[in-house]
Every structure is written in C-alpha cells, then in structure tokens.
C-alpha cells in the first residue's frame, strides 16, 4: 500500500509538472479598441502566413487557442514571422514564429508551435501590408517625417533609429589612477558630468586586439548623442573620429 501511494503521488507530481509547462502566449496582453495583433514574415517567408487580429472576440479566441508546451530548441532558421501588439500606432514585439521547426519564441522561452494555426489565421484574418524604408540625414529630419506619417489613415506603426546618434572612442593613458578599464571610465564620467548628463551617453570597454595587446592606454567606446562628441574636448584623454549610426525608419502600412 505504501508503494502504491508513493507511485500515485509521483504520478500526480509528474502530471502537475507537465501541466506547468503549458504557457498561455497572450496571458498578460491587454486588448482594447486601439489594439491590433499583427503577424508578418521576414523576407524569406511567404506572405500568405501573415494575419491581423482587430476585434476583442477574435483576440479572445486567439488567447484560448495559443497555449503551448515549453521546449528548448537548437539553432534558429532564417525564415520567421514576427508577432507585434500595436496600440495607438506604437508596435511592441511579443514573439517570433519559426514555421520550419514548429517553434515560437518570446523573451521568456521557446515553445512548440502548431504551424497549421498559421494557415487558418491567414485565411480568416489576412493581413496585407506595405513596408517603407527611409533614411535621414539627422534625427530632426526623422522626427519631422514621423510626425507626418502617424496621422496618415493607413499607417500602422514603425521602427525608428536607436537611442544613440553614433559612437567614438577616447584614449585614456594608463597611470596609477587609471590602471584598469573601470577606473578609466570613472574618470571619463567625471569629465562628462561637467557638460552633459548620464542619459546622453553610455561607456563600454571592448576587449579587442588593441585593448588586449596594448597596455599603455585604454580605448573606451562612447555611445552617445552627437552633442556629447561635439562638446567633449580634452588635451590628455583624446577623442577618436566620430562614427554616426544610420538614422532610419521602417514603417508598416495597411494596404
């Protein structure tokens, strides 16, 4: 009897563990009249798998259907479909589907995905979009264009440039007070504080060939808005050439 009881408890624990692996994909997603769920492919994937969910009823059904088993996978293939939640013309990535290996991923993990769901959704809720890619001379030009397109009827959402305008390096000579990358960055932070704030830049030390083999100085990389580069001038801790990041916008439009 004791053995039987132990086996029952073990079986219940296994069933409980298996049940715990089930994950509701849209469990924490809030849906209202300004919300859409869109799924669109990478360049290597056929467009017929795209779909859009616009109504509360359809979303509730999607929420019930998309409950997956957790499972880790190996290397991800190139062909994929991105899933975004769009609220008030702002898109947020929530997952990626890899149809070739029946997988869906989020920031929390990887799950088994039934690819037949794609064909059904694409047939019932087809999503046809136009993708526009634009580049700009500066961030001001980008902001001006963005403010125009968000008022267009068919505009859905867009990706914009990153937080920083570009990067440059500062050469910090190695001394008793700057004999480690951390101490070198601490000195630079002190200098930056005289003309900007910490939200305008980020410092990092890259252990590349220059830094690994040359011990007389440290090359600290600065990611920042352009005014930080322009306003930084020091006769000892010299700055190296500015490398701008491309200012771009990739926008998605309903056809």
The pLDDT score that the predictor gives to residue 9 is 43
CB 114 within 8 A of CB 122: no
- Listed as ranges, residues in the chain with pLDDT below 50 are 1-20
The pLDDT score that the predictor gives to residue 44 is 61
The CA-atom distances, in angstroms, between 230 and each of 97, 189, 192, 237 are 43, 16, 12, 15
């125009």: which residue's tokens?
A: 148
Contacts of 57-63 with C-beta under 8 Å, sequence gap 24+, read 58/125, 59/26, 59/31, 59/35, 62/26, 62/37, 62/121, 63/24, 63/25, 63/26, 63/27, 63/29
Give the number of other Cβ atoms within 10 Å of residue 168's Cβ: 19
Domains of the chain: 23-127 (no CATH), 166-247 (3.30.70)
Number of helices and strands in the chain (H, E): 7, 16
CB 243 within 8 A of CB 224: no
């Amino acid at each position: 009897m004791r053995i039987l009881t132990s086996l029952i408890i073990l079986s219940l624990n296994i069933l409980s563990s298996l049940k715990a692996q089930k994950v509701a994909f849209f469990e924490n997603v809030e849906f209202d009249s300004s919300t859409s769920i869109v799924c669109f492919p990478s360049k290597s994937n056929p467009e017929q798998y795209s779909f859009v969910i616009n109504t509360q009823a359809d979303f509730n059904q999607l929420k019930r259907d998309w409950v997956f088993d957790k499972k880790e996978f190996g290397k991800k293939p190139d062909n994929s479909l991105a899933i975004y939640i769009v609220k008030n013309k702002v898109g947020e990535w929530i997952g990626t589907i890899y149809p070739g290996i029946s997988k869906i991923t989020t920031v929390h993990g990887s799950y088994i995905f039934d690819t037949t769901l794609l064909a059904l959704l694409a047939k019932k809720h087809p999503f046809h979009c136009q993708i526009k890619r634009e580049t700009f001379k500066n961030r001001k030009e980008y902001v001006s264009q963005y403010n125009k397109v968000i008022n267009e009827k068919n505009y859905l959402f867009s990706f914009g440039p990153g937080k920083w305008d570009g990067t440059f390096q500062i050469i910090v000579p190695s001394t008793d007070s700057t004999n480690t990358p951390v101490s070198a960055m601490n000195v630079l932070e002190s200098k930056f504080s005289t003309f900007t704030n910490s939200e305008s830049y980020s410092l990092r030390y890259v252990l590349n060939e220059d830094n690994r083999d040359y011990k007389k100085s440290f090359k600290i990389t600065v990611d920042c808005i352009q005014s930080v580069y322009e306003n930084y001038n020091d006769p000892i801790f010299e700055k190296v050439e500015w490398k701008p990041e491309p200012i771009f916008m990739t926008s998605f439009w309903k056809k």
